[in-house]
Structure formats: structure tokens, C-alpha cells
Structure 1
Amino acid sequence: MILKKKPAEPVSRRRIAIVHHRGIILMVEILSFRYRRTAS
């Protein structure tokens, strides 16, 4: 069996970057929300 491996496409890479970016934003939002709750 010969599996043709496609070189990492920019589309998939971009999708991963977007998901990663979204995850960071979500984490920041949750952290800031918790911080605000504890502060007030």
C-alpha cells in the first residue's frame, strides 16, 4: 500500500491557527471574567 502524503496545505494550517486563536481568546475571556468576579 502506497499512501500519497500531501504536503501540509496552507488551508489546513490556517484552520488550525484559527482554532488555536479562538481557544486563546476563549481562555482570556474566561480568565478576565473570573478575575472581575473575584475583584468585585
Structure 2
Amino acid sequence: MVYHDEEPCYDEEFGDSQDPQDDDRYVLEALINQHFTLDRKQP
């Protein structure tokens, strides 16, 4: 997922320490993905 139209850099993949908000976004995305994955596994 791309959240903003800034020039791409390798830091975005791992979270940019200069932009702590990015870390929050990646954590939220991971939690959301985990939630949907668990939902799909339920009958």
C-alpha cells in the first residue's frame, strides 16, 4: 500500500525513523491484515 505520493526510498519499506507516523501506519496495516486473515480462516 502507498499512503502518500512522496519520492520512494528504501526506508519506507522498513519504516523511516525520521517519520514516526510511518511506523504507526505499518503497525496498523499489520493489525488490519492479521484481522482479515483470521476472519477468512473462520468458517
| Range of TM-score over shorter length | 0.5 to 0.7
Q: TM-score, normalising length from structure 1?
A: 0.59
- Count of aligned pairs between the two proteins: 27
Where do 4+ consecutive residues of structure 1 move more than 2 Å? none
Name the Cα RMSD after superposition. 1.3
Residue identity over aligned pairs, in percent, reads 7
Structure 1: give runs of 5+ residues left out of the alignment.
Answer: 1-6
Give the structure-2-normalised TM-score: 0.55
Greater relative contact order (Cα < 8 A, sep 6+): 2
Q: Which has the larger radius of gyration?
A: 1
Q: Per residue, is there more helix in 1 or in 2?
A: 1
